[in-house]
């Protein structure tokens, strides 16, 4: 069990470019969550998956954001036409689901839009 | 709606002194409560959690927290702080009613002076 893995750790992109982040959850964890953390704030929920099904999207997730979890394993978060306001740490977490389970977080992807 | 308030933005404590971080929550059902720690540029590490049962919970690194339903609080304590405890601490609330999506406080930054 290697924990939740996120790639890349850091991404610098020009405004208007598209970016994609990847999250590999702990194996056999059926729930996967994406959070966004801006400087000086706590993480905010973006979206989550139960296996391959995306069950909820926060209103923070504009139409420029899309997330997938094909085959219920790894997940990708894509941001199209990035804006400076998208600069943040994007955190992925996974859990076994069911009762009394906690989420384990990855190291995050730090996005800087210039 | 669920929410978390961490009243203290920044706390400075001397090495070897005791530490208490405050957390107040709002949640419509029995809360699941968590404390996470984050070092600069890193993801979140779970310190401890409360689901049910004994209201005083022990965590890693010598931390403990007490759930007080009457005060809607879940304060984190450590009897003797080490320099390595300097970090940002986040309190979070969630539960089965909302598929364990977490709401985080804004965090408390702890500085440890020699």
* Cα distance between residue B31 and residue B37, in whole Å: 20
Whole-angstrom distance between the N-terminal and C-terminal Cα of chain A?
Answer: 36
What's the mean pLDDT in A72-94? 96
Residues of B in contact with A107 (CB under 8 A): 42-43
Nearest Cβ partner for A45 among B34, B42, B102: B102
Q: What is the pLDDT of residue A1?
A: 53
A80-83 long-range contacts (CB < 8 A, ≥24 apart) are A80/A18, A81/A16, A81/A17, A81/A18, A82/A13, A82/A14, A82/A15, A82/A16, A82/A17, A82/A18, A82/A19, A82/A111, A82/A113, A83/A15, A83/A113
* Cα distance between residue B93 and residue A61, in whole Å: 21
For B72-103, write each residue's pLDDT tens digit: 999 999 999 999 999 999 999 998 888 889 99
Give the chain A residue nearest B101 (alpha carbons). Answer: A45
Query: What stretches in chain B show pLDDT beneath 70?
Result: none
At A77, list the tokens: 């978060």
Which of B44, B89, B98, B107 to probe the A interface (max A CBs under 10 A)? B44
């Amino acid at each position: 069990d290697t924990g939740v893995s996120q790639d890349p750790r850091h991404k610098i992109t020009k405004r208007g470019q598209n970016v994609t982040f990847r999250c590999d959850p702990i194996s056999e964890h059926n729930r996967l969550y994406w959070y966004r953390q801006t400087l000086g704030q706590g993480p905010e929920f973006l979206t989550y998956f139960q296996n391959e099904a995306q069950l909820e999207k926060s209103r923070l997730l504009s139409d420029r954001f899309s997330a997938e979890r094909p085959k219920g394993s790894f997940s990708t978060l894509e941001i199209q036409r990035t804006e400076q306001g998208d600069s943040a740490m994007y955190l992925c977490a996974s859990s076994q689901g069911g009762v009394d389970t906690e989420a384990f977080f990855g190291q995050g992807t730090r996005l800087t839009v210039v | 709606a669920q929410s978390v308030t961490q009243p203290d933005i920044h706390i400075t404590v001397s090495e070897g002194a005791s530490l208490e971080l405050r957390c107040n929550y709002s949640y419509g059902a029995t809360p699941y409560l968590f404390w996470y720690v984050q070092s600069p540029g890193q993801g979140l590490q779970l310190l401890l959690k409360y689901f049910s049962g004994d209201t005083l919970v022990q965590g890693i690194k010598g931390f403990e927290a007490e759930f007080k339903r009457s005060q809607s609080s879940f304060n984190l304590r450590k009897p003797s702080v080490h320099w390595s405890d300097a970090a940002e601490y986040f309190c979070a609330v969630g539960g089965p009613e909302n598929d364990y999506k977490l709401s985080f406080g804004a965090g408390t930054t702890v500085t440890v002076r020699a």
